[in-house]
Amino acid sequence: MAVIMDGKATSAKLRKEFLEKVSLLKEKGVTPGLAVIIVGEDPASQTYVKNKEKACVECGYYSEKYALPEETSEAELLALIEKLNGRDEINGILVQLPLPKHICEDHVIRAIHPLKDVDAFHPENVGHIMTGDFAFVPCTPAGVMELLKEYDIDPTGKRAVIIGRSNIVGKPAAMLLLHENATVTVCHSRTKDLAAICREADILVAAIGKLEFVTRDMVKPGAVVIDVGINRNAEGKLRGDVNFDDVVDLASYITPVPGGVGPMTITMLMQNTLRAACIQNNITL
Ligand code: GUN
């Protein structure tokens, strides 16, 4: 039976550490500040944004939320970002994706000042992730790495297989695992013999966005299985990209959904915001 990797408990521990660091920062007159922008009414995005605000309160950060109507123009959104770029009390700016179709995500991502880009989506920060000299790490892959660390799983020399090649998860997760000395394979919808490649994985990361896609035949006995998916099943329950019940007795470690990578993602956003506040104020904690 696999060890269930508890993202909720790991998150709570880290957030407590951030709260302690924030009290040191406050003594120096600095409170980390995060601005979260949401455009439109997507219910999943609204839930994520609410959870990000809650995390700010838990960690003692200052936060501002901008809930803009669906019909907001790209120019209006860019003007808001420009204003936030110029404000000292805002250390991080997060624009919740996806955006309505009439707004170009690339324009928006590039408008955020790289030192306030706590999602690490700006091309400058993406470049830093490639070379390994990064301050901000994309939140979901960072959450995956932090969970591995919490459970003393060293990727060095291991075969890591990632299913999914998105800019938000798959590609940066590949880089982070490579920096930690794993041998990394990225699979996607055009991959041939996907199940056979997955079966070679010591660490299998599922980031496809397809309900319970990973089944028993795709998992090597003793593998670490990390589930990044957030999907709803026919009964409306949250489930991952891994068929948990099918795999749980085969894996050595597995993340549940909910309660695995999900809470870690937001915790890593808090870590990036804390780093942003330190960098912008020349403080080393
Ligand atoms: N939408 C889904 N995941 C993310 C994320 O990590 N950051 C932002 N800004 N939007 C998202």
Pocket test for ligand 1, best of 96, 103, 265 (most atoms within 8 A of CB): 96
Q: Tell me, what's the pLDDT at 285? A: 86
Q: Tell me, what's the pLDDT at 158? A: 98
Residue 96 CA to ligand 1 center (angstroms) comes to: 5
Q: Tell me, what's the pLDDT at 23? A: 97
Q: Tell me, what's the pLDDT at 247? A: 98
pLDDT score of 138 more than 90: yes
- Any catalytic annotation for residue 96? yes
Mean pLDDT of 260-266: 97
Ligand 1 pocket member 168 (CB < 6 A):
yes
Looking at residue 100, the DSSP 8-state letter turns out to be: P
pLDDT score of 224 more than 90: yes
Cβ neighbours of 85 (radius 10 Å): 15
pLDDT tens-digit map of 158-182: 999 999 999 999 999 999 999 999 9
Mean pLDDT of 71-81: 98
Q: Report the sign of the C-alpha dihedral through residues 170, 183, 132, 13, in that order.
A: positive
Contact 247, 219 (CB under 8 A): yes
Ligand 1 pocket member 266 (CB < 6 A):
no
The mean of the pLDDT values for the chain is 98
Mean pLDDT of 243-258: 98
Q: What is the pTM of this model?
A: 0.97
Task: Give the CA angle between residues 185, 190, 193 to the nearest 5°.
Answer: 65
